[in-house]
Amino acid sequence: MPAAATVYVKDLAPMAAFYEVCFGLRMVADAPGDYRVLGSGAWALSIVQVPPAVAATIHIDRPPTRRRSSPVKLSFEVPAIADLRPTIRDLGGSVDDGSWEFAGFRHVDCVDPEGNVVELREAVTAGR
């Protein structure tokens, strides 16, 4: 069984589109208005719509304000961070300017359309 994570969201469709398009995940299961499971061979991401009464209490700034109180950050290995920046912005997210290198990867944080911090990881090759 692959590893899995769950993200609870205010707006299911744009959040699912963000993770599908930006990270190449494909839909595994779907119940419109309730949840969508996206996956790759290695893991699955469940995106779950919060109940309407809860959603009504959540305000999302545009651009989204970075959430600072969550101890969890999803990480995705991507072919090229620079190539993904415009897509993330077009889908309602934002990308930090700074980066750092660790364990053979260049890392940059981004924020999804609801403010969740996501780490982008790009393999560092010689000469880059």
**Mean pLDDT in each 10-residue stretch from start to end of the chain (128 residues)?**
85 96 95 93 92 94 88 91 97 95 94 96 79
Residue 70 has what pLDDT? 83
pTM, two decimals, is 0.86
Domains: count for the chain: 1
Residue 57, in any domain of the structure:
no
Residue 125 has what pLDDT? 80
Strands 74-77 and 35-39 come out as: unpaired
User: What is the Cβ-side half-sphere exposure of residue 89, based on CA atoms within 13 angstroms?
Assistant: 9
Residue 128 has what pLDDT? 52
CATH of the domain at 9: 3.10.180.10
Domain that holds residue 119: 3-52+62-123
Helix ranges (DSSP H) in 24-80: 52-55
